[in-house]
Chain A
């Protein structure tokens, strides 16, 4: 138990569906992240929210839409995905001190997405 909870753990969706991934952290952190891990590839950073503001967006297609309503919750809204978007989506949180990120990330278990 890392203090970061992701739901659902597994999701199968068609290319025309709209679904959302949810992440909740119980650690009192003020930064949250979405990472993507495709088969046999390193983790790729997608989005970062710090103090509820998006601070990084690593050229992610618009079919992925993040939302951070408060410092404890992070969503990834999915629509018109492609089969190549099938991957493990990982949420993480960390504490930001002043303007500096600590580098110590706490990850959830991930949501395994399959796009048919």
Chain B
């Protein structure tokens, strides 16, 4: 699986959009971009994933550049409960037919939402 690079920490004012960047310049054509977050002392929570089109769900939006070498997770209106470590992961997805179960978590970005 391709490696990712994320800033170690970011701050965001409550109510503003939080934009979390991720670089994945070695991503392969069949690898998806996944985002998870981990609130302190809890298990990680799946947020969103995508291949090449932008994606949106009730939690966030995922913007993937045309060359797929980077992406941005957007939390449109950050709240204090969004304070967490956010992980960007690239790996083969369900359509690949591959058998890999490895989901490799890096150090992520610690997002602090400030009142």
Beta-carbon contact of B101 and A106 below 8 Å: no
When A99-B99, A101-B99 are in contact, do A110 and B41 touch as well, CB less than 8 Å? yes
Tell me if B69 is interfacial: C-beta within 8 Å of chain A: no
Residues in A lying within 8 Å of B, measured CB to CB: 2, 4, 31, 33, 42-43, 45, 48, 50, 55-56, 88, 90-92, 97-110, 112
Of residues B91, B99, B103, which shows the largest number of chain A Cβ atoms within 10 Å of its Cβ? B103
Residues in B lying within 8 Å of A, measured CB to CB: 32, 34, 36, 41-46, 49, 89, 91-108
Beta-carbon contact of B43 and A4 below 8 Å: yes
Contacts of B49 in A (CB 8 A): 103-104
Name the residue on A nearest B31 (C-beta). A103
Q: SS class of chain A's interface: helix, strand, loop or mixed? A: strand
Contacts of A91 in B (CB 8 A): 43
Per CB-CB distance, the 7 closest pairs between chain A and chain B, nearest first, are: A107-B43, A43-B105, A48-B101, A102-B94, A100-B94, A42-B105, A101-B101
Beta-carbon contact of A109 and B95 below 8 Å: no
Beta-carbon contact of B46 and A55 below 8 Å: no
